[in-house]
Amino acid sequence: MKKNDEIILNITDYTVEGSGVGKYEGMAVFVPLTATGDTARVKILKVKKAYAFGKLIETTKKSNCRTENDCSAFSRCGGCAFRHISYEAELKAKELRAYETVKRIGGVDLKPQPIIFDKENRYRNKAQYPISQEGKVGFFATHSHRIIPCGDCLLQPEVFKDITEKIEKWIEYYKISIYNEEEHKGLLRHIFIRLAEATGEIMVALVINGESLPFDRELILALKNTVGEKVKSIQININTRDTNVIMGEKCVTLYGTDYITDILCGVKIRLSPLSFYQVNRVMAEKLYLKVAEYGEVENKTVLDLYCGAGTIGLSLARKAKKVIGVEIVPEAIKDAKFNAKANNIENAEFYCDDATSFAEKTSLKPDVVIVDPPRKGLTAELIQTITEKYSPERVVYVSCDVGTFARDIKKFGEKGYRLAEYTPADLFPKTAHCENIAKLIKE
């Protein structure tokens, strides 16, 4: 098999990115936009030593799980991976991915509990939109900074479309310059929108390569006329660095308050443009309930590592004896402390520190340890500290990457912590991402 060959391929599985997978002459071939059960004619684009990448030319036999695509930007926008198959098939694929990865990498042959899920569209409460040089709002194409106009993205609330359309008209009418990342010139870089679903409050922030925004009064009036009293905060975020990082460190409020307020598991949460917050609120509540179930935190001392803005710990605090949260991002810890005070939660403490460093130097003896690390998972040093120094009754592991999750499950097993149960949670429908929550019991 070589580049530009055309082959007939039976699709039997999905990759972690959501591409279909088939075997040809013993070699795995990865093909986007295909579905398990498809027979497809595929053009080979690249051949490596053990695998190849292909492009779908024609589906000669369609899978039973295929469905009609409902988005004109699908296959061009880098957001969704699964708009071409039914949601039922997507959930089964994510369950199977969790089981196979935990078995292959983690060395544990244990089937997951049924996947937790909710609605498949309109679930995101936050969006960050890049802007083309023509002033059109959209999303980046896959593995690219080419901007694909998306109109009404089905993952976002409908009101986000109304807001972006109004901003597009404001850009055009007042000839607002758009940031060019190659030349590091131009003003407007991104549009940030956040919705607090429980209260209906909306925040809009414009990320700019400068210190002020021209015609800001006109923009405020336009957004108020579009959204009404629901828009509680309009801000600029200043990012003058030559970087791909979307948000800068400084925000200036142009209208309304510095933050909006949502309610998660009965806890009021203050949200600024820089706050970390789960983008799927309904599913975050379901995930946190599963964490509480697995942790059995009643009258226990709970250590919450990688706590973000403290949302998991605060959701448990009224049951727990004490909650200690640790997060390296100063803004997140500031939000966590504010949220604890605003909710009259006095048994929660939050520290700004690296999780591994904090664990090594503290003398705490928690009954339960909760970890919610980034995609790279836990360090070997942190696993050793948790299992040998803390030696809690149980560990609850919340993961956004099933590969590093399975790797760490194996390490915990070697330290005497058995994987008792785990549950996939689909916080990101139509994408290839899936969370997993695990209960690890000290043997």
For the chain, how many residues are written? 443
HSE toward the beta carbon, residue 322, CA cutoff 13 A = 9
CA-CA distance, 406 to 395, in Å (whole number)? 14
- Mapped onto helix, strand or coil, the DSSP state of residue 356 is helix
Token pair recorded at residue 334: 């500031």
- Cite the DSSP H helix spans in 29-117: 87-104
51 has which bridge partners? 28
CA 91 centroid distance within chain? 17
Q: Which residues are catalytic?
A: 400
28 has which bridge partners? 23, 51
CA-CA distance, 311 to 276, in Å (whole number)? 9
CA-CA distance, 92 to 58, in Å (whole number)? 25
- Mapped onto helix, strand or coil, the DSSP state of residue 23 is strand
Judge contact between 404 and 432, C-beta under 8 A: no
Residue with tokens 């991402």: 433
